[in-house]
Amino acid sequence: MNLDKDRGCFVCGPDNSMGLQAVFSCDKESKQSFCRLTIEDNFQGWHSIVHGGIIASLLDEACIYAGRALAETLVTAELSVRYRKPVPVGQEVVITGKVLEKRRKVLKVKSCLELNGEIHAEAEGRVFLVD
């Protein structure tokens, strides 16, 4: 699989003016990712509530960035999201990801979106190491 890297990702691409422009960090030692982000109202679904697809995208990205502790290029193979509470727009959220297990070229990962220390959404999935 040939994947060209650019800066246009909807979630983390700094050159995508219509995207979230989330900045994730990766701790290679703990195999975890981290991001603080205020999601603006142009990403809402219902009035003043962040669209569920945006939340899923952020959780997916957190899984990928956690996996970057082991490889540079990864793609999502599977993602299961659990929405616990609505996420209001305009408030800072914390998104984290963690690698749970590695089997050959597949990582089992989890991620979480928190607001004021409370979990509002979480995901589990598998990502495939391309390189």
pTM of the shown model: 0.95
1: pLDDT strictly greater than 80: no
Residues 6+ apart with CB under 8 A from 130: 1, 3, 71, 73, 74, 75
15: pLDDT strictly greater than 90: no
Please report the pLDDT score of residue 62 as a whole number. 97
| Bridge partners (DSSP) listed for residue 108 | 101, 126
Q: What is the mean pLDDT of residues 23-45?
A: 96
Pair of tokens at residue 98 = 């963690």
Q: What percent of the chain clears pLDDT 90, i.e. is strictly above it?
A: 83
Q: What is the mean pLDDT of residues 33-59?
A: 96
Please report the pLDDT score of residue 10 as a whole number. 81
Single-letter amino acid code for the residue at 121: A
Instruction: Label residues 91-113 b or e (16+ Cβ within 10 Å = b).
Output: eebebbbbbeeeeeebbbbbbbb
Query: For 29-129, which CATH superfamily applies?
Result: Hotdog Thioesterase (3.10.129.10)
Please report the pLDDT score of residue 8 as a whole number. 81
Please report the pLDDT score of residue 6 as a whole number. 75
- Domain positions in the chain are 29-129
Q: What angle do CA 19, 60, 120 make, to 5 degrees?
A: 95
> Which pLDDT tens digit goes with each residue over 49-94?
999 999 999 999 999 999 999 999 999 999 999 999 999 999 999 9
* CA distances to 1, 31, 103 from 72, in Å: 14, 13, 17
> Rounded to whole angstroms, how far apart are CA atoms 96 and 33?
5
Please report the pLDDT score of residue 9 as a whole number. 84
- Per-residue pLDDT band for 131 (boundaries 50, 70, 90) equals confident
